[in-house]
Structure 1
Amino acid sequence: MTTTMPAEWTPHERTWMSFPTANDTFGPDGSDTLARARDAWARVARTVALYEPVTLVADPDDEQTARDMLTGATGISLVTAPLDDAWIRDSGPTFVHDVDGSLRAVNWIFNGWGAQSWAAWENDARLAATVAATADIPVDDSPLVGEGGGLHVDGRGTVLLTDSVQLDPDRNPGWTKGQVEEEVHARLGTRHAIWLPRGLTRDYDGFGTRGHVDIVASFTEAGHVLLHRQDNPDHPDYDVTRELRTVLESAVDVNGNPLTIVDLPAPDVLRDEEGWVDYSYINHLVCNNAVILCAFGEKQADERARSILAEAYPGRTVELVDARDIFAFGGGIHCITQQQPAVRNV
């Protein structure tokens, strides 16, 4: 394999999103919950479109609703394809560069985050190929069950993974770490993996993913690692995030250098009506000239996070977008977006 996944902060051609459709996650047609989801997704789409084109995939039954909601929005195009859910980071393709700088699309096997009882994935399992065909990009099928939210690359050869996702017996039964690494490196052009043992507590309840890395840790352009930090000892993630920090403190990058860890503290809220929240500023999107950052209605915490991200990405505008409704359905801004890199001149 000669393909390489570029870091998220490299230039984008566009961002892809899906439009929430009626299901067990969002609720039935006409429900308040589905309306809230669609409003939240539309806010993110409009914000990203200030900086780069957005292509929104809508189920054919929802096409007119999506068009009506985005009336007047510029920079957003709409395509239709059958959908089960709206987490395109996971069901969509992972875009990579070929050796000549052109794009290819990795099509991981998608099985509803480990065949979760509430999930449907017959349509979403085909979405990566559909997106790639729409973009006229060749597809490489992987035998690994996985999702885009389960990995994060630094663009230098290192990838972040989690034990509880990649080695999930409902995803990849019988696979060893070595086998996972071999496949991931072959598809992404990485050479070194850092394994975290798990994700945040809420991610193992309800509509969780069983430990996606993109809600706990991410690389920055400077080569640092942003790490979610929960500072309230009453929250179970207080211990989780300290365990993760210990792992990262003993890890090295592809060149054998220790990691520089930048803590990104959680907001103060601890619970919602479902239990312990997993509100995290890690789950942001880096796009052309901007960072699209989750906000949680806490001015001091939101502004502190904005300041940390502005320092991590100098020269980019940090846009705060209320993500509480997105998190209520099981994810964040990074989970509902997927960047398509620009073709690279070689």
Structure 2
Amino acid sequence: MTALTDAPGGARRPGGRGSADGPARGPGSAGRSAKHRLQSVLGVITSPKYGPVTITALLFVAVFVIGGIRYRGFLSGQVFLNLLVDNSYLIVLAVGMTFVILTGGIDLSVGAVVALSGMIAASLLQAGWGPETVIPLILISTSLLGLLVGFMIHVFKVQPFIATLAAMFLARGLCYVISQSSISITDPTFVQLAVTRIPLGGRMSITPSVIIAVVVVLIALWVLHRTRFGRTVYALGGSEQSGMLMGLPVARTKVLVYVVSGFCSGLAGVLFTFYTLSGYPLTAIGTELDAIAAVVIGGTLLTGGYGFVLGSVLGVLVLGVIQTIITFEGTLSSWWTKIFIGVLLLVFIILQKVLTARRR
């Protein structure tokens, strides 16, 4: 038996090279495994689909940690929740903008529609209308405006930039028709929603607006990734001509994304009135650019086809944490926020160009 064990062709000791316990793992196996993991990580970062959103997530974590190192109390849970509280309306706005940009379009009217929603709410509430009538009326009106924009783009072949620019002037003009000055909101329901805090434990809390924003994000995720409409949105951004050849409802989808954007703009306007308790014609000037910046920084390609709603949420949070750091600093002008946003936007546009060029 011993002879057989020691013989050249006989059985070998357990754990030896070629044993029944499995293949031998030499010193090069660990190196190959580490190299494979590194290639997988690099593949994600350099992917035009996942790369930008991954970099945005890392950027948010890095900026938040830097703020925590520099300022006492910055890493508290309430500071993070305040990002959601202060930017809940912008999150909803960015969700609608994501649908539009995924198709390769753009919507410049969203800021003016936010202002119009606030003016409609303030004026009707002041006239004695109830919130249960005012809020649905706002959402229907802004959705119809989005429908009008979608028809202009599809039926009359107007460029999205021009069509939404016209809608922006229309909405802003209607604000001044309603009133040229600020209108306060004293309706008990709106006031209650503005001051209500929902406790989460540990002296942390959020507002009802955050809950609404989270619900909108979850619905958008389901629509984009679990419905035929969502798949058509991505296909339309990839190639409209290919979508038509595949028999997809391209025309209907192109119109509906602007309806979605109009609805989200109206809802964002309502959330903004919860935050300010007033309507003012000059509200949200430039907010459309903040929404576009958040979506692009969140990894959605301006040419369409690639992007995620959660990426847009991350983009909003990045903008919010930059604003928070400037507030904590105390010595910097708020205009530095615009400067940082401009730099980030330029960097991410260049990054998108590089990643898509590498993929081709």
TM-score normalised to structure 1 length: 0.28
TM-score normalised to structure 2 length: 0.28
Structure 1 or 2, whichever has the larger Rg, is 2
Q: Which has the higher contact order (CA 8 A, sep 6+)?
A: 2
